[in-house]
Structure 1
């Protein structure tokens, strides 16, 4: 099958490598089925055409689309510009896309919707999601399930032309679809308790939680029943791969 393009945004190698392994594991992918690009370290390849891939997957990262330009590091600004540069082609031609966490901000911002810290930010932890509309990527999932979240910003209103697929009480836009093939989630479909434990350790000083809360958050993640979100990633791979 054609490879998937995986765009990673995490400048911390431990978190980036762990995320990469999680996408492979949860998506049922081999390394040779993925073109991995670490945007914190490299530019998009010259002449890259998203239509040459089975689909595009964007991982999460510590940056926020809604941060003021002056508050973004050069790396964060470059990553954001690279991701946004692909969105016109992806949305115009309905190229299969799955944006995870940061990816929902990129998609919504490109579509003209407000992405901000005004409402719907969620602390690190597990949140109860509920299905609001049927979709092939939700095949085999229950009507309600838990997913791992942790974000400072969120989509404030459904982008024009998009469909709300999943909601939670703290954040109504947990998963959306634009067209037939362009998806984004606020939660992390690749993350299990071990993956989130790594991120808690890595991002302890990035403002998501107080450092003294780390041990309690790790215990909470280990106790949480988060098993279903990975099915979304596997359904995406199965549908487009």
Structure 2
């Protein structure tokens, strides 16, 4: 069986390595079952759809709503590669799960709208499933409301045409959706434990997601959050595809 792959969009190597381990642990996958490809270091291979049966995309300090004039060549290439995969997944040629930064890339590629109107503070948020999620292969078995971790400056304002809204939230109305049968996207992070998330917070402490002086207070809220449901999405993704 072809493996799955974690696609890295983070320039910070330490954070990227930890994110890969969080995905692998949540999916209960061996290293041979979840490969790694660093999109920051190398372009997406031409045979990606044949090489892997599915992929997961994590977060990044990049934002798709950054002015084009401020984007580096690397960011433009990463977004172009992920946009290509979004179309492949929406058309059913590969399974894909775009999270956090990834949801913005997939949404814009498929004709939806991403804006700075729906940011969320770093830390736990409450996610509510929609009625459509009840019969979904990945989210159908989750609790109707659960805590998840977020940290983002942009969010989905308009879904791609034909996409099915699966989860919502008070501050950010699009928390998860499905496009076609094999493309999923979540605004929240489904992979980290509370401890792993606080370690990631330390890497991005001075990147404007939160006031650096608030680190200890936010970390305490993260560590107190109940995070049983989000990893179940990743396990279901690995089993379903």
User: Which category of TM-score, normalised to the shorter sequence, fits these structures?
Assistant: over 0.9
- Asked if 1 retains the 8 angstrom alpha-carbon contact of 2:18 and 2:196, the reply is yes
1:124-151 C-alpha deviation (Å, 9 max, x unpaired): 0111111102211013311110000010
Distance 1:94 1:50, change over 3 A: closer
- With structure 1 as the length reference, what TM-score do the two structures score? 0.94
**What is the distance in 1 between the residues matched to 2:28 and 2:83?**
27
Match of 1:81 in 2: 80
- Asked if 2 retains the 8 angstrom alpha-carbon contact of 1:113 and 1:159, the reply is yes
**What is the distance in 1 between the residues matched to 2:93 and 2:120?**
30
Secondary structure, aligned partner of 1:76: helix
Match of 2:26 in 1: 26
1:15-43 C-alpha deviation (Å, 9 max, x unpaired): 10100100110001110112211111222
**What is the distance in 2 between the residues matched to 1:142 and 1:92?**
29
Match of 1:150 in 2: 151
- Asked if 1 retains the 8 angstrom alpha-carbon contact of 2:126 and 2:148, the reply is yes
Structure 2 segments unaligned to the other structure (5+ residues): none
Match of 2:227 in 1: 226
- Cα root mean square deviation, aligned: 1.3
1:32-47 → structure 2 map (5 Å cutoff):
32-45=32-45, 47=46
- Asked if 2 retains the 8 angstrom alpha-carbon contact of 1:50 and 1:90, the reply is no
**What is the distance in 2 between the residues matched to 1:111 and 1:60?**
19
**What is the distance in 2 between the residues matched to 1:85 and 1:96?**
13
Q: CA deviation at 1:202?
A: 0.3
Structure 1 segments unaligned to the other structure (5+ residues): none
Match of 2:217 in 1: 216
**What is the distance in 2 between the residues matched to 1:49 and 1:216?**
42
Q: CA deviation at 1:94?
A: 4.9
- Asked if 1 retains the 8 angstrom alpha-carbon contact of 2:49 and 2:93, the reply is no
- Asked if 2 retains the 8 angstrom alpha-carbon contact of 1:50 and 1:56, the reply is no
**What is the distance in 2 between the residues matched to 1:155 and 1:94?**
24
1:1-241 → structure 2 map (5 Å cutoff):
1-45=1-45, 47-117=46-116, 119-132=117-130, 133=132, 134=134, 135-240=136-241
- With structure 2 as the length reference, what TM-score do the two structures score? 0.94
Give the total of aligned pairs.
238
Secondary structure, aligned partner of 2:165: strand
